[in-house]
Amino acid sequence: MKKILIGIFFLGLTNLIYSQTAFHPESFFSKIKTLSTVNAAYINNVFDANNSKRVVYLENKVAEYDIKKQPLFNKEFESYIVVFEEHNNYQGSINATYDENGEIINTHEKFKNIKLPFLVLNVINKTYPGFIIQSNFYIVNYSKNKATKKFFKVKIEKEGEIKSLKINPEGKII
């Protein structure tokens, strides 16, 4: 019996030992993409680390898009409007206008029912305790030479009372 317990003890210890493999840091960086510097101003203005992954993904697609590689591209046209839409029952879209150099002139972004940032949820819960979020929209208006406007439209309800709120990404009710 003593030998069996010792055997089980050592067998249990072998589960705690892991194999030693060589560390290859380049394997961690295989998915890094370099964005074109042409649309760096756009991504710097609209990017928010607290945003939903859906928003960040589509904004990156807009910044990466190269209108000059499209068959319909003609340098004689001043601008091109490209619509980027989510699929799989998500309701988000970005209407982006590109100039003849492939630079984003302006965008209008609208996403429905995204995961709200903590600051926004926190201000709703503190200001309107007991209210339940019914729906939300995240809206971004970017223009190359103007300030970027970002805000959330949130519809909340409590016992039949419905309120519509407009909140900026910093959590301030507008």
Domain parsing of the chain, residue ranges: 36-167
Checking if the pLDDT of 28 tops 50, the result is no
Residue pointed to by tokens 């030693």: 20
Measured distance between the N- and C-terminal CA atoms of the chain, rounded to whole angstroms: 74
Torsion of CA 67, 72, 77, 82, to 10 degrees: -50
Instruction: Specify whether the CB–CB gap between 158 and 130 falls below 8 A.
Output: yes
Checking if the pLDDT of 12 tops 80, the result is no
Checking if the pLDDT of 2 tops 90, the result is no
pLDDT, tens digit, 9 for 90 and up, residues 84-124: 999 888 899 999 999 998 999 999 999 999 999 999 999 99
Q: State the number of CA atoms in the 13 A half-sphere of 8 facing the CB.
A: 5
pLDDT, tens digit, 9 for 90 and up, residues 42-90: 999 999 999 999 999 999 999 999 999 998 888 888 999 999 999 888 8
